[in-house]
Amino acid sequence: MRILLVEDDVALSEAVCGYLRAKSFVVDPVDGLRSARAALAGARYAAVLLDLHLGDGDGLSLLPLLRSLADRPVVIALTARDQVSDRIRGLDAGADDYLVKPYDPGELLARLRAIERRRGNDAPVLHLGTLEIDLARDMVRKAGAPVVLTSKEWALLRVMASRPDRIHTRETLQDALYGFDSETDSNTLEVFVSRLRRKLGREYIQTLRGLGYRLAYAPEDAA
């Protein structure tokens, strides 16, 4: 699941990113409203962790944009103020959930897992030849046998399998692997694509020179 973290506390942002990435989430951290709007224009998110008190404005001002998105992410508002009026203000403005800082990372994880389960009920099972990719259960089978993937291999495959009809650019796939805040070697993506090809079969991931990658997909393969 891909998450946008809007938080201008650098230490907290780094701690949350490290924790969630260790749990196999893809996290893109940004430090304000302007960078959040840029991130939302370039990627799709299942959830947004939104600090309400940012250095460049009120986090609630981002909610109209979030509500207007076709694939509306779940919004968890974050604030240091443990005031009922503050919580009501956030929920009335369109936030779906609320956490008061400092929050327990286990509680945040539980809420994100609940979002995954709800969204997973609608996730498709994709069939490509002898491959079966189950996005709801994070499972891949090849000719009926399970294929074991690492968390980063899953992050890469999930992006491609969620839109199998689309060509995915190098930038999009690198963001899925590491988020917006990490610098990666130019060959890192090719390493993970190569690993996926060894596990799934070279024929299932196509390279479109100068454009990116996509799954070898035909509409009749979708279940």
Instruction: Read off the pLDDT of residues 156-198 as tens digits, 9 standing for 90 and up.
Output: 888 888 778 788 888 878 777 765 445 555 568 889 999 999 9
- Summarised one tens digit per residue, pLDDT across range 192-222 is 999 999 999 999 999 998 889 999 854 444 4
Closest among 135, 76, 104, 102 to 19, alpha carbons compared: 104
Distance CA 7, CA 97 (A): 16
- Summarised one tens digit per residue, pLDDT across range 48-107 is 999 988 988 888 889 888 988 877 899 998 887 666 666 777 777 788 888 888 889 899
pLDDT tops 60 at residue 123: no
Supply the Cα-derived Rg of the chain in whole angstroms.
Answer: 18
Whether residue 176 contacts residue 26, with contact meaning beta carbons closer than 8 Å, is answered with yes
Q: Give the three-class secondary structure for 119.
A: helix
Domain with CATH 1.10.10.10 in the chain: 125-221
Which fold, 2-120?
Rossmann fold (3.40.50)
Distance CA 189, CA 159 (A): 13
- Provide the whole-model pTM: 0.60
What is the predicted pLDDT for the residue at 97?
Answer: 87
pLDDT tops 70 at residue 45: yes
What is the predicted pLDDT for the residue at 107?
Answer: 92
State the DSSP code for 61. G
Domain with CATH 3.40.50.2300 in the chain: 2-120
> Tokens for 56?
């460049």
What is the predicted pLDDT for the residue at 155?
Answer: 79
Distance CA 47, CA 1 (A): 8
What is the predicted pLDDT for the residue at 83?
Answer: 66
Whether residue 76 contacts residue 52, with contact meaning beta carbons closer than 8 Å, is answered with no
Distance CA 64, CA 163 (A): 26
Q: Give the three-class secondary structure for 34.
A: helix
What is the predicted pLDDT for the residue at 5?
Answer: 95
Q: What are phi and psi of 58, to 5 degrees?
A: -80, 125
Whether residue 51 contacts residue 8, with contact meaning beta carbons closer than 8 Å, is answered with yes
CATH pick for 125-221 out of 1.10.760.10, 1.10.10.10, 2.60.120.260, 3.40.50.1400: 1.10.10.10
What is the predicted pLDDT for the residue at 199?
Answer: 94
Distance CA 22, CA 151 (A): 9
> Tokens for 35?
């960078």
- Summarised one tens digit per residue, pLDDT across range 18-40 is 888 888 788 889 999 999 998 88
